[in-house]
Every structure is written in C-alpha cells, then in structure tokens.
DNA sequence: TTAAACTTTCAATAATTATTGAAAGTTTAA
DNA sequence: TTAAACTTTCAATAATTATTGAAAGTTTAA
C-alpha cells in the first residue's frame, strides 16, 4: 500500500470509529490527520486535505482543543495559527476518558443518585424492580467513576500496565 | 419524587446516555423501560408507554435481542410475545462490551494490522510519524481487545471485583 | 382451509445533526 | 489610523439517521 493511500485509510477508519462512539466524524478525522502529521498544520491545510469548509475546520479544531487532544502553535514571524496533536496514546485515552466522564458520566451519576433516594413500598413489585435496577446501575456507575478517577490521576501508566500484566 | 415520575426520568436519562455513546436513543429507552418492569411487556405496552410506532417498537425490540440485552417470553394460552430484560448489570456491561467489540473494535484492529505493515523510509518524517502513530494505536487497541476478551470469558465478576478492590 | 391475531417490512417522511460560506470580528504591521 | 491577514460566528441548507404506518407476511385455532 502507498503511504498516501494508507494515510487516507487511517483517517477514514478513525472517523468511522469516532462516529460509532458518538464523536463527530469530522472531528475524529481532523484528529487522525494531525496524529499522522509530523508538522503542525494550518486551518487551510486541514480544509484542503479533508475537503471541509473554513467554518467547519475552525469549529472542529476549537473542539479538539477543548477536548485537550490538540494544541495551537505559533511560528515566529507568521500570523497563521498552526495545530498539532498530542501523539501519546496514553494521553489521548486519558483525555477522552476525562472529557466523557465530565460531560456524560457525571450528569448520569447525579440523576441516579436522586433516583436511588425515591421511596416506596418494597412489597410493590413495581417499586421493588425499579429500586433494584437503579441501585445496581448506580453501583456500577460509581465503580466506573472511581476507576476512571484513579486512572486519570495516575501520572504514569502503571495502572493499565499492571492490569495488562495479569493477562499476559 | 413519585415513582411514575422517577421511572420517566430514568428512561430519559438512560436514553440520553445511550445516544451520547452511539446507541439509538429509543433502543436505550426501551431497554430502560424493560429494566424497571417487574413483568415482561408486550410490543403494544412498549409502544404505548414510550409513544412510538409499532414498526419502531418491533425493530427496536429485535435489535435489543440481537444485542443479547432482552429476551422473548411466551405465556401459555396466549399468542402475544412478551419481552423482558436481563437485570444483572454485570451481564449488561458484558453484553454491550461483547457486541461493540465485535461490531467496531474488530474491524478497526483489522485495518490497523494492515496499516502497520505499510513499508517506507524511516528517514522520511511523513512515514516515520505515520508509522509511529499507527503502531502505538495498534498496541493500545490490542491491549483493549485482550482485556475485553479476558473480561468476557470470565464467568464470574472476579475481574472487576479484583480491580475495584484496589481502589477501596 | 380460513380468518383472526399477531409480527415484520420498507418506502415515505420527519427529526436530528453536520456543514457551508459569507459576513462580522479581531489582530497586527506599518 | 488603516487595511491586510487572519479567525469566528451563525442562519441557511445539506446530509444523515430515526420513525411512521400501512401493507404484506406468518402463525394458530377451529
């Protein structure tokens, strides 16, 4: 396979994976493009490579910055902004986990917390089933939350390292 | 909060979470409804509770069955099909992980495998960056795959149990 | 067989989400 | 100041995804 071809394939695959996990396809593609670029790129270059509009490129790049996945760079004597991606997979996984926890897990935990407090008659099967499911899911969610918290705080990747070791 | 109200809130929250993770909102809502139902429900009951059409209810229920999250039940002397959800959170997490691995991770692993084989000149920064990113992501993906594999094979929840114990 | 009681399919449509592109805004150099 | 070089915004529109509902299909009892 040609390098140019392989690059396109990577961008496409990353974009598809992103969209299946609720991340904007274009955002994932821009991220993929920057991941395999040795140099930081301008908005213009991103637009041209992926055939997207200036507005889209601008918003997507800003989004990626807010996710902590890419950074701006300024070159001396130039006014253009350049963008480059953090290429450490551990950091990428960490950033994504961090953002999704904040944006999605936290609100759900809040609601589950309220719902576990709903009172009722345990002899009522309707209430009993509701209560059991909510309580169980709340437990799982809390465990996931706690695990992510620890994982995010770990400065090294000792955490995954130690887990993966178990299965070697 | 009233039980009826709390149920709606749970269905809504579950649906929202699903949609943020690339799972059809209605599918997640139907799943939520069955999770908190003590009795198996008919297509009709699902339609009425969630205000969705017969076609939608039918397709969604079949989807949930193919995800291994709900099951059909037949009541003696009746022709209607009843549906109920597996209420064990561990099984739910396991089923979702299993399906997503099959549907999404596997194809990506296949592509990454091909892309790591692309050959080129390591003095070419374009190739070098591409190769490094692809190789690193491939490693991460393989680790995730291996971990899921082990987790899915575990008949008991000793796996999460032992992990969560670390953080108590 | 038949017809009632159900389930499934799928083209049309609605709802949602992503994208465009031009106009407005901002920054910098001279 | 000004104007060129850039970035950002956002209403309009396009693309995608989900839903409807009626028609077709299937199963069962008699």
Together in a domain, B23 and B78: yes
What pLDDT, on a 0 to 100 scale, did the predictor assign at position B107?
95
Q: Which residues touch strand D (CB under 7 A)?
A: A 19, 42-44, 54-55, 58-59, 61-62, 78-81; B 24-26, 51-56, 59-60, 79
What pLDDT, on a 0 to 100 scale, did the predictor assign at position A167?
47
What pLDDT, on a 0 to 100 scale, did the predictor assign at position B150?
86
What pLDDT, on a 0 to 100 scale, did the predictor assign at position B151?
84
Together in a domain, B96 and B134: yes
Cα–Cα distance list, A59 to A24, A30, A92 (Å): 11, 11, 20
Q: Which helix (H) or strand (E) holds A37?
A: none
Convert the pLDDT of each residue in B46-63 to its tens digit.
999 999 999 999 999 999
Together in a domain, A24 and A76: yes
| pLDDT under 50: residue ranges of chain A | 167-168
* Boundary of a domain, candidates B50, B85, B120: B85
Cα–Cα distance list, A101 to A63, A89, A98, A148, B21 (Å): 16, 18, 5, 8, 12
> Between B9, B87, B107, which is nearest A115 by CB?
B9
Q: Which nucleotides of D are covered by protein (CB under 7 A)?
A: 5-11, 17-23, 28
Together in a domain, B14 and B70: yes
Domain of B60, in residue numbers: 3-85
Specify the 3-state DSSP secondary structure of A42. Answer: strand
Together in a domain, A58 and A80: yes
Is there a contact between A3 and B120 if contact means CB atoms under 8 Å apart?
A: yes
* Boundary of a domain, candidates A34, A52, A85: A85
Together in a domain, A94 and A147: yes
Helices (H), B1-50: 3-20, 25-35, 43-50
Integer Cα distance of B99 and B90 in angstroms: 14
pLDDT along chain B (168 residues), means of 10: 94 96 96 97 97 97 97 92 95 93 94 96 96 96 91 65 53
SS (H, E, C) B56-117: HHHHHHHHHHHCCCEEEEECCCCCCEEEEECCCHHHHHHHHHHHHHHHHHHHHHHHHHHHHC
What pLDDT, on a 0 to 100 scale, did the predictor assign at position A166?
53
How many domains does the structure of chain B reveal? 2
Cα–Cα distance list, B47 to B26, B52, B54, B59, B79 (Å): 11, 5, 6, 12, 18
Together in a domain, A115 and A50: no
Kindly list the residues from chain A whose CB atom is less than 8 angstroms away from the CB atom of residue B133.
10, 35-36, 87
Together in a domain, B104 and B158: yes
- Are B34 and B70 contacting, i.e. CB atoms less than 8 angstroms apart? yes
* Boundary of a domain, candidates B34, B66, B85: B85
Together in a domain, A55 and A119: no
Query: Which residue in B has a C-alpha nearest to residue A125's C-alpha?
Result: B38
* Residues linked to residue A84 through DSSP beta bridges, in sequence order: A71
Together in a domain, A103 and A75: no
Integer Cα distance of B70 and B35 in angstroms: 9
SS (H, E, C) A71-119: EEEECCCCCCEEEEECCCHHHHHHHHHHHHHHHHHHHHHHHHHHHHCCC
Chain B contact probe: residue of A11, A36, A134 with most B CBs at under 10 A: A36
Is there a contact between B128 and A6 if contact means CB atoms under 8 Å apart?
A: no
- Are B96 and A20 contacting, i.e. CB atoms less than 8 angstroms apart? no
Which CATH number fits the domain that encloses residue B24? 1.10.10.10
Task: Select from A116, A136, A49 the least CA-distant residue to B87.
Answer: A136
Burial of A37 (0-12, 13-18, 19+ CB in 10 A): buried
Together in a domain, B9 and B80: yes
What pLDDT, on a 0 to 100 scale, did the predictor assign at position A152?
85
Together in a domain, A117 and A150: yes
Convert the pLDDT of each residue in B70-88 to its tens digit.
999 999 888 899 999 999 9
Q: Which residues of B124-160 are buried (b: 16+ CB within 10 A; e: fewer)?
A: eebbebbbebbebbbebbebbeebbeebeeeeebebb
């Amino acid at each position: 396979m040609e390098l140019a071809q392989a690059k396109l394939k990577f961008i496409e695959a990353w974009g598809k994976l992103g969209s299946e996990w609720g991340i904007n396809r274009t955002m994932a593609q821009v991220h993929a493009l920057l991941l395999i670029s040795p140099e930081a790129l301008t908005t213009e270059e991103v637009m041209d490579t992926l055939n997207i509009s200036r507005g889209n490129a601008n918003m997507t790049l800003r989004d990626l910055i807010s996710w902590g996945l890419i950074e701006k760079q300024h070159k001396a004597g130039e006014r253009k902004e350049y963008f480059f991606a953090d290429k450490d997979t551990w950091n990428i996984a960490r950033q994504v986990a961090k953002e999704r926890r904040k944006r999605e897990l936290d609100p759900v935990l809040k609601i589950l917390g309220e719902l576990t407090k709903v009172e009722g008659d345990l002899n009522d099967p309707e209430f009993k089933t509701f209560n059991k499911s909510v309580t169980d899911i709340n437990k799982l969610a809390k465990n996931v939350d706690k695990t992510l918290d620890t994982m995010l705080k770990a400065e090294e990747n000792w955490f995954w390292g130690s887990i993966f070791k178990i299965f070697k």
